[in-house]
């Protein structure tokens, strides 16, 4: 992957060599310029000069468990913790986001372990990116009857 192709808000796997030896990092791109790449990894932010990077590849959102196997009671509990009620729609974040260009993450997402919960709306994809950046694997969207068609068009499945 050419360093010019590395966009902010994408997830990458980097191999590099420093004075301490070879290393690897997986994280979300914060910024990229002609001299360095800034990543947010699970262990914090990391700034790598391009001169130390030996390989860089874009990777998708981690797959996680099958959200369709989640008990309805757990989904109701997650929605309750987020302070939301309504129809419940679920999807793996990898299914929703892989292949889509990244967008700036939006606020309004409640994250609990592998799950993220938000209300439906025009910025559901931006909220999904925020959930992925927070290391969630699945997304529960609470919607009204009027929003159901849009969510199913995006690939969501209505939960019982």
Whether the per-residue pLDDT at 1 is higher than 60: the answer is no
Whether the per-residue pLDDT at 4 is higher than 80: the answer is no
pTM of the model: 0.85
What is the distance between the alpha carbons of residues 43 and 59, in angstroms, rounded to a whole number? Answer: 18
Whether the per-residue pLDDT at 64 is higher than 80: the answer is yes
Question: Tokens representing 131?
Answer: 């959930």
> Is 28:43 a contact under the CB 8 Å cutoff?
no
**Domain positions in the chain:** 3-59, 67-158
N-to-C CA span, the chain: 42
Query: Cα 56–154–156 angle (5° rounding)?
Result: 100
Query: Cα 54–55–60 angle (5° rounding)?
Result: 155
For the residues 141-157, what does the mean pLDDT come to? 95
What is the distance between the alpha carbons of residues 70 and 72, in angstroms, rounded to a whole number? Answer: 6
Rg over alpha carbons for the chain, rounded to the nearest Å, is 17
Show Cβ contacts of residue 146 under 8 Å, excluding neighbours closer than 6 positions: none
Candidate CATH numbers 2.40.50.140, 2.20.25.10, 3.40.50.720, 2.30.30.520; the one for domain 3-59: 2.30.30.520
pLDDT of residue 42: 87
pLDDT digits (tens, 9 = 90+) for 71-102: 999 999 999 999 999 999 999 999 999 988 88
What is the distance between the alpha carbons of residues 95 and 118, in angstroms, rounded to a whole number? Answer: 17
pLDDT digits (tens, 9 = 90+) for 28-40: 999 999 899 999 9
């Amino acid at each position: 992957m050419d360093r010019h192709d590395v966009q902010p808000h994408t997830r990458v796997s980097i191999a590099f060599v420093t004075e301490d030896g070879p290393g690897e990092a997986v994280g979300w791109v914060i910024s990229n310029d002609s001299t360095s790449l800034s990543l947010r990894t699970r262990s914090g932010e990391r700034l790598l000069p391009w001169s130390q990077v030996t390989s860089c590849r874009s990777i998708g959102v981690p797959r996680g468990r099958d959200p369709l196997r989640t008990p309805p009671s757990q989904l109701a509990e997650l929605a309750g913790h987020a302070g939301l009620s309504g129809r419940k729609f679920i999807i793996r974040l990898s299914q929703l986001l892989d292949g889509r260009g990244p967008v700036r993450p939006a606020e309004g997402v409640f994250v609990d372990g592998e799950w993220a919960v938000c209300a439906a709306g025009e910025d559901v994809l931006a909220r999904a990116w925020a959930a992925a950046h927070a290391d969630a694997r699945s997304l529960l969207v609470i919607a009204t009857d009027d929003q159901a068609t849009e969510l199913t068009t995006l690939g969501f499945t209505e939960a019982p």
